[in-house]
């Protein structure tokens, strides 16, 4: 029997009913868990959990992730600085140094800034007060509507709508889609205030592979950064990684607004994902491709 790829879906906040807890990623979980290969074997074995803390404040899974049997981590960093302890960070870094694949994502302003010390992954996330975008012209508000949220806050559209993304050349294999008329993924879910990501000059292991575009300023912004596997200075085979500008690319509400959202979300949603079935199909194809790519199976 073929062993499934073991995927951990993990937030950096404790379980809270009125928040973006892991249960709001149920469609992602169900989809990955349903996928099978041509022989009928399950492709993925998915574990989904929120942050938990032991007596010392460390998450018992993340802090020992390198000793687990997980093959990849999808980290939804929803905190504003206290989501990962030093021991959690060390466990994640050791996991990647043993070849584990990691997808990280966050959102606007300083959300997810506990990831700053993740080896090279932290460098790809730009925040409001930490690891600020080196392009000073981007240190300004893009979304003019939700004024209590500051930059980075790229307005790609309403929750529930979709954006046409720009896939950069050379087209990364993760964007290939047999079901798309163009054979390439074109659409992603939108969000009123996506975060900032990028690649530092001289980083030869990372590149931007797709752009979004602000509906307000028409300014392009980085949507996804990829890091290929490589050997570090110690000779470790570092796992592949993906950096996303917003966790809203994956949450239930942005795939289907009928799934609902926390009460603090006050922007009016759209119906684009419902009106264009290809938009939902594109993000599902991307999810499958991403999980396979992170496991070196694509």
Render pLDDT for 72-99 as a digit per residue (tens, 0 to 9): 999 999 999 999 999 999 999 999 999 9
Predicted confidence (pLDDT) per residue in 223-252, tens digit: 999 999 888 888 989 999 999 999 999 999
Q: Closest Cα partner for 139 from 246, 219, 80, 243?
A: 219
Over residues 158-168, mean pLDDT: 98
The pLDDT-based confidence of 200 (bands split at 50, 70, 90) is confident
Looking at residue 2, its pLDDT comes to 83
Spatial neighbors of 3 by CB under 8 A, at least 6 apart, are none
Q: How confident is the model at residue 204 (pLDDT cuts 50, 70, 90)?
A: confident
pTM: 0.97
The CA angle 45-177-272, to the nearest 5 degrees, is 90
Can you give the pLDDT at residue 89?
A: 98
Confidence of residue 181 (pLDDT cuts 50, 70, 90): confident
Q: Read off the pLDDT of residues 6-65 as tens digits, 9 standing for 90 and up.
A: 999 999 999 999 999 999 999 999 999 999 999 999 999 999 999 999 999 999 999 999
Q: 127: which 2 tokens?
A: 């925040």
Does pLDDT of 201 surpass 90? no
Tell me what pLDDT residue 236 has: 86
pLDDT of residue 125: 98
**Predicted pLDDT of residue 179:** 83
Could you give the domains of the chain?
Answer: 5-294 (3.40.50)
Q: Helix axis angle, 26-34 relative to 277-294, nearest 10°?
A: 70
List CB contacts of 37: < 8 A, sequence separation 6 or more: 2, 43
Between β-strands 44-49 and 125-126, what pairing exists: parallel, antiparallel or unpaired? unpaired
Q: What is the pLDDT of residue 282?
A: 97
* Element spanning 230, H or E: strand 230-231
At 36 the pLDDT is 96
Report residue 1's pLDDT band, with 50, 70 and 90 as the boundaries.
Answer: low
Say how far apart CA 107 and CA 243 lie, in whole Å. Answer: 11
């Amino acid at each position: 029997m073929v062993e499934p790829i073991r995927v951990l879906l993990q937030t950096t906040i404790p379980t809270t009913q009125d928040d973006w807890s892991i249960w709001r990623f149920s469609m992602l979980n169900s989809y990955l868990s349903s996928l099978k290969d041509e022989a009928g074997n399950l492709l993925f074995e998915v574990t989904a959990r929120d942050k938990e803390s032991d007596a010392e404040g460390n998450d018992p899974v993340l802090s020992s992730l390198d000793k687990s049997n997980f093959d990849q981590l999808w980290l939804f960093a929803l905190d504003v600085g206290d989501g990962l302890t030093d021991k959690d960070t060390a466990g994640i870094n050791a996991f990647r140094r043993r070849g584990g694949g990691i997808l990280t994502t966050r959102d606007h302003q300083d959300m997810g800034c506990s990831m700053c010390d993740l080896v090279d992954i932290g460098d790809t996330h730009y925040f409001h007060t930490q690891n600020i975008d080196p392009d000073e012209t981007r240190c300004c508000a893009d979304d003019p509507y939700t004024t209590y949220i500051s930059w980075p806050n790229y307005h790609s559209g309403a929750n529930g709508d979709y954006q046409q993304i720009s896939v950069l050349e050379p087209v990364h294999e993760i964007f290939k889609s047999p079901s798309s008329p163009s054979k390439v993924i074109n659409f992603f879910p939108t969000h009123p205030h996506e975060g900032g990501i990028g690649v530092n000059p001289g980083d030869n292991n990372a590149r931007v592979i797709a752009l979004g575009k602000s509906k307000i300023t028409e300014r392009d912004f980085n949507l996804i950064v990829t890091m290929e596997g490589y050997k570090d200075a110690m000779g470790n085979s570092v796992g592949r990684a993906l950096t996303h500008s917003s966790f809203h690319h994956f949450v239930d509400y942005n795939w289907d607004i009928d799934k609902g959202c926390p009460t603090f979300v006050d922007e009016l949603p759209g119906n684009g994902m419902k009106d264009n079935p290809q938009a939902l199909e594109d993000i599902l194809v991307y999810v499958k491709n991403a999980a396979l790519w992170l496991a070196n199976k694509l």
